[in-house]
Structure 1
Amino acid sequence: MQDRAEETRKVVLKAAAHLFFEQGYAATSISDISERSGRTSGAIYFHYTNKEHLALAVVNAHFATWPAMIAHHEAASEPALAKLVRLSFTVARAFRDDVLVRAGARLWAERRSIAVEMPPPFVDWIATVEGMLDRACAEGDLAPHAEPSRDAPTLVAAFFGLHTVSDALDDRVLIEDRLANFWLLLLPGLQADPAPQALLARARRPLPANA
């Protein structure tokens, strides 16, 4: 019985994510989600109470994507700056390909029309980037003028600004190429011994699951 309930929650959450991403919060109804998921409205209300809480569940699923992904990259046996660049490409692919991630981002952008408190964005990303820059500095790979606490918020802002532009121009189809250009611009100012092309050649390859 518990397995069936969990399966219903997952199916409903995935259907809701598709619809919230495709149509937006206001244009999506519980009836739409019921039709897409093949579950009754009663089952949806039983598990999620209302549309607001279902939207919050999608946003929470979006945020839950990142800790394991970050931990996997941080555990890799490569320099911290390479880990940071590789992580950025993994995150970019998730925003392009993962409907829960994309739906969570859209719902957070529409948060003022949703009567539920959403978790704050960006704070954890800034802390993660600052930590990686600190380790790059300790490894001697960061330029002397770089300051992790100053530069981390700027990198995060620029990264997500790049996503906004890519989403508007080409639905993120070209996000990896745009991100490569982003790093080609920034790495010469971050690396102690600038070699952006070499770092990018390694970091654009996805990290193996067992790395």
Structure 2
Amino acid sequence: MATRRALLETAARLFAERGYAGTSVNDMSTRSGRTSGAVYFHYASKEGIALAVVEDAFATWPRLRARYTDRSVPPLDRLVSLSFEIAHALVEDTVVRAGARLWAERDTIDASLPDPFALWTAATTRLLTQARAAGHLAHRVRPAVAAPALVRAFFGLCTLTEALEDRRLVATRLADWWHITLPLFQHDIDSTGVLSRVQAERTASGTVPAPQRVTAGTTARHPTAVP
């Protein structure tokens, strides 16, 4: 299992850096220090490795359930917190980053990759439904309609921020987006309160750094509070 995992993580790094077409099994062998035979022993094909990378964390999100099922936290707070957790993984987790790139390149892969948005959308629908039951959601918002739109807008924001600006800015742009979006969903508008609570929880947990302000052309990180 340790060798299989090491090979998957090596493949993920290469896929994240070079994409599917730019990565070969020989590359994986060289980078991992193992033979091509060892790679094929654990994975039958390059397509099989790509599928395993996508399924590992990007499409199945093993940490997702614990993040959104804590009923002691208001549902909209959980939704926002979950978005920051996923955004952080898309920026910092090599396997997740590789999964996202492979899914974007799925037409070049001779394998059926799972829909990575199904679980996100189901979780978002459930949280919006809980928010409605708690009286926190605006009456005009229909959870089953709003959830797919939120998930797609969120993923587009993460993708375009990295492509057009700097991936270290994703958390900051996400906070800006929630400031705009939350008032459209909340029954009693309190976007600043939700974001402040989420940021306090993230900081207290120590698992996710604060959003970054990055000046173009620099590499320094400057933590700031959520706007």
TM-score of the superposition, structure 2-length normalised? Answer: 0.85
Where do residues 35-114 of structure 1 align in structure 2 (5 Å cutoff)? 35-63=30-58, 66-75=61-70, 77-114=72-109
User: Unaligned stretches of 5+ in structure 2?
Assistant: 207-227
Aligned counterpart in structure 2 of residue 189 of structure 1, from 184, 187, 190: 184
Q: Which blocks of at least 5 consecutive residues in structure 1 are unaligned?
A: 1-5
> What do the CA deviations read for 1:10-64 (whole angstroms, capped 9, x no partner)?
1110100000000011111111111111111100011101111111111111336
Residue 167 of structure 2 aligns with an amino acid whose one-letter code is R
- Could you tell me how far apart the structure 2 residues matched to 1:46 and 1:85 are? 42
> What RMSD over aligned residues (CA atoms) do the two structures have, in Å?
1.6
Identical pairs, percent = 49
Higher relative contact order (Cα pairs below 8 Å, separated by 6+ residues): 1
* SS of equivalent to 2:192: helix
Map 1:173-188 → 2, pairs under 5 A: 173-188=168-183
| Match 1:128 to one of 123, 126, 130 | 123
Instruction: Look up the SS of the partner of 2:98 in the other structure.
Output: helix
Structure 1 segments of 4 or more deviating over 4 A? none
Give the helix-richer structure, 1 or 2.
1
Within 1, Cα distance between the matches of 2:60 and 2:124?
A: 17
- Contact 2:68–2:123 (Cα < 8 Å) also in 1: no
158, 166, 171: which one aligns with 2:161: 166
Aligned residues of 1:8 and 1:39 also touching (Cα < 8 A) = no
TM-score by length of 1: 0.91
Q: Is the 8 A contact 1:62 1:105 kept in 2?
A: no
Once the two structures are TM-superposed, the CA of residue 208 in structure 1 deviates from its matched residue by 3.9
CA distance in 1, matches of 2:33, 2:70: 40
